[in-house]
Amino acid sequence: MIDFLSSYEVLIQLTLSMTLLAISLQIPLRMGVISFASVGYFAIGGYATAILVAQQGINAWAAVFLSTILGGVIAYILGLGIAHLNGLYLAMATVSFSLILSVVAVNGGSLTGGPVGLFGVIGPITTWHFLVVVAVVIFLVSFTERGKLSRRFDAIREDPQLAAAMGINVVRYRRLSFLISGAIGALSGSMATLMKSAISPESIGFGLIILALTVIIVGGQGSWVGAVLGSLFFLWMPQTIKFVGTWEPVLYGFIVAVAAVTLPGGVLAVYRNWRYRRTAAKVIAQQEARTRDLAMSGATGGGSGDGV
Amino acid sequence: MNLQDVLNASTLGSIYLLFALGMALVWGTMGILNFAHGSVFMFSAFVGYLITSRIPLPLPAVVLIAMVVGAVLTLAIQYFAYQPILKKIKSVNAAELQIVVAGIGLSVIPIALAEKETLSNNFGFQGSTFQTVVYQFGDLRISNIMIIILVLGLGLGFGTAWWIAKSRQGLGLRAVGIDPEVAALMGVDRRKMALATMAFAGALAGLAGALLTYYLTALNPHSGEGLILKAFAAIILGGLGSVLGVILGSFILAFAETAVFAYTSGTWVSAVSFGLILILLVVRPQGILGKKEVRRT
């Protein structure tokens, strides 16, 4: 186990930060908001941490905390400006937001380190700590996937007008989704920067948006499980398909396209459908058995209510 | 900004226009934001490069080849990816996202293929028989390829605007954009219309790719990626659903970029289109010439 950890440590760290980024992308999506701003929050968290730790010499954990708050606040303000947009307009506004930040990072002079980025962001945080942080986030997020809150999210996504008529404050929930998404995205960037001890404009570009998006499309949009599955798949796949060599990007694009066309809810939906069908089949079988029992008991004239 | 800058910006605007026009038509009428448009643009020029590096062809032949490649590729994407998604997913919101992701996934493939062949280097039409000639009028320098781009860009832009506004097919196309079901009831064949629009958009992407390669003398496998966002900026700048809006948007974007390039360091140029998108969507989401009722409440 320890050997495994040390030889794959970087990959594990990448998987963890991608999981957080994917969750950050999912939260608005679960309320019907297609937002790609998560990569921007990632950049904010990463650069804020790098500046605080490497330039100001602030304690790493404090920097993580402050970056997370900053991400949430900026996301909330962004949400105030653009949350009224729908569908692709919001998507493109958020893509622009993310890409502007990468241009700002290139032009930021000594504060952001220009095209090279910032180095020496070193703190006492280990991969184990990161694992715990991700587990805590997943634990908290899982509360929104059960019970009343989960049904509210679904209602806002599927039919905002109906949700409003049921007394759900749709606008407030959507703004809240920006806040949570911003905090988690910034946390992801902050932790990723501390793990790598560096951040550069290259690492927060359009490529990251595409990767995070494909992670949740292939993994599944509706739950953190999809984020974990997708991150595992896309970060560990290059290891397993090394045999295809230079054809790797072609295969990658092909997998993404096929998944988008054939699996609308990701791998997770396939599993859930299968489980649903199995349970449904079981329930139907039970009901049939019950009606048979009732018919038998009716025929013999005896009677006990144990079938019900 | 001197006269030369105006001329250069207009040429750039015409390229943006040729690229964005197809994207805007497809998006405005069928609701499909084709993210693979940039890849099609690049790959059409790339096929032109593959052929001209073996057979010396004149410019019209290269342009024609690129247009055919663009149309065929876009049709294939429509047929194998977007059409099945639209058939499978009824919710417009969910289908939009799925289409964007499918487009992104598919756009990776031509880029990867071109990178593999060129080893990530630039490619051009050095094998073509076309020679660039520069004419000098006082301080003003204009090349024959610039004239071709300006004439084709403006001609096709205004031609399409006129066709959409006046012709019967244009009326059908606008009808599909406003209410597909009623349009179908009125006898518009949506499937045929969709395929025809897609083919036209792909051909325009191929045209833009070939012309830009002649103009810049080289493209690289990633040339199409940035153009998608620029085209998006041009489309929402003018207003979705208005062809004149796309023309206006493309030229405003090109002039803004030229101005930023002239007055600041070049590294800020890419922020122009992103900034325009963000500001416009916050301030005036329907664009300059757009109408409010187009789906974007």
Residues of A in contact with B116 (CB under 8 A): 246-247, 250
* Model confidence pLDDT, tens digit, residues B90-140: 777 778 888 888 898 898 899 989 988 888 889 988 888 888 888 888 888
Indicate which of A82, A88, A202, A213 best probes the interface with B, i.e. most B CBs within 10 Å of its own CB.
Answer: A88
What separation in angstroms does the CA of B85 have from each of A194, A257, B82, B168, B288?
40, 11, 5, 29, 32
- A70 — pLDDT class (breaks 50, 70, 90): very high
The interface predicted TM-score (ipTM) is 0.80
Nearest beta carbon to residue A210 from set B104, B277, B296: B104
Judged against a pLDDT cut of 90, whether residue B193 lies above it is answered with no
Q: Is there a contact between A257 and B265 if contact means CB atoms under 8 Å apart?
A: no
Q: Is there a contact between A256 and B105 if contact means CB atoms under 8 Å apart?
A: yes
According to the model, what pLDDT value does residue B249 have? 92
- pTM (global) more than 0.90: no
Q: How far is CA A78 from the centre of its chain?
A: 19
Indicate which of A84, A96, A107, A215 best probes the interface with B, i.e. most B CBs within 10 Å of its own CB.
Answer: A96
Taking the alpha carbons of A82, A85, A88, A89 in that order, is the dihedral positive or negative? negative
Distance from CA of B66 to the nearest CA of A (A): 22
List, as own/partner pairs, every contact residues A157-166 make where C-beta atoms lie below 8 angstroms and the sequence separation is at least 24, other chains included: A157/A30, A157/A31, A157/A32, A157/B93, A158/A32, A158/B91, A160/A32
Distance in angstroms (rounded) separating the CA atoms of residues B87 and B231: 27
- Render A256-279 in DSSP notation, one character per residue: HHHHHHH-TTHHHHHHHHHHHHHH
According to the model, what pLDDT value does residue A244 have? 66
Distance from CA of B133 to the nearest CA of A (A): 36
Nearest CA in chain B to A83: B282
Nearest beta carbon to residue A97 from set B101, B113, B278: B278
Q: Are A188 and A182 in contact (CB under 8 A)?
A: no
* Model confidence pLDDT, tens digit, residues B136-167: 888 888 999 999 999 999 999 999 999 988 88
Distance in angstroms (rounded) separating the CA atoms of residues B31 and B11: 29
* Model confidence pLDDT, tens digit, residues B245-291: 899 999 999 999 998 888 877 778 888 888 888 888 888 777 777 66
Residues of B in contact with A254 (CB under 8 A): 105, 109
